Each structure stands twice: as structure tokens, then as C-alpha cells.
């Protein structure tokens, strides 16, 4: 169940990153760092705002560490913890 929830958040993140970058969902690898995919500061803040609205959480104020942000996978684990 836990694994399924993590997967759902990760898939949601993949969809949003794909939308921000205008790429196909299949082209988004959850293990690749966001900056290597071409996400910039604007895209990153957009992503956080979308996830905050979607899951009703406060990502910006949750004391996230650098490692939490690095990849879609690490970010999805953190978001799952906050839900």
C-alpha cells in the first residue's frame, strides 16, 4: 500500500515535470536530477506550487534538505511523508 502511494506521487510528479518541459511522460526518468532535465528556478517553483495545491501540503515551509529536491524519486518520498 505504502509502495503504491509512493508510486502515485511519483507518477504525478512525472506528469507535471513532463508538462513543464513539454515532453512525453515516457521521456522523464525519475532518477535523473531535475537540473539535468532542464528544469530551471521558475519550473521548479511551478512544480512545488502544483504539488502543494494537489496534496494540500506546505512544501516550501517543511524544512526540506538539498537531497530531498534532487530527483523526482527523492521528492516523491518526501511529499508522501508530508501527506
Contacts with another protein, residue ranges (CB under 8 A): 21-23, 34-35, 38-46, 48-49, 52, 60, 66, 69-70
Task: Tell me how far CA of residue 21 lies from CA of 26, 41, 45, 62, in angstroms.
Answer: 12, 13, 13, 26
Nearer to another protein, 7 or 23 (CB): 23
Minimum CB separation of residue 12 from another protein in Å reads 18
Asked if residues 78 and 64 have their Cβ atoms less than 8 Å apart, the reply is yes
Minimum CB separation of residue 56 from another protein in Å reads 13
Amino acid at each position: 500500500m505504502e509502495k503504491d502511494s509512493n508510486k502515485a506521487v511519483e507518477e504525478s510528479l512525472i506528469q507535471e515535470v513532463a508538462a513543464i518541459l513539454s515532453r512525453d511522460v515516457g521521456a522523464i526518468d525519475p532518477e535523473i536530477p531535475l537540473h539535468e532535465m532542464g528544469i530551471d528556478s521558475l519550473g521548479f517553483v511551478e512544480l512545488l506550487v502544483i504539488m502543494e495545491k494537489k496534496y494540500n501540503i506546505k512544501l516550501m515551509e517543511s524544512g526540506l534538505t538539498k537531497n530531498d529536491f534532487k530527483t523526482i524519486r527523492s521528492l516523491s518520498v518526501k511529499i508522501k511523508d508530508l501527506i
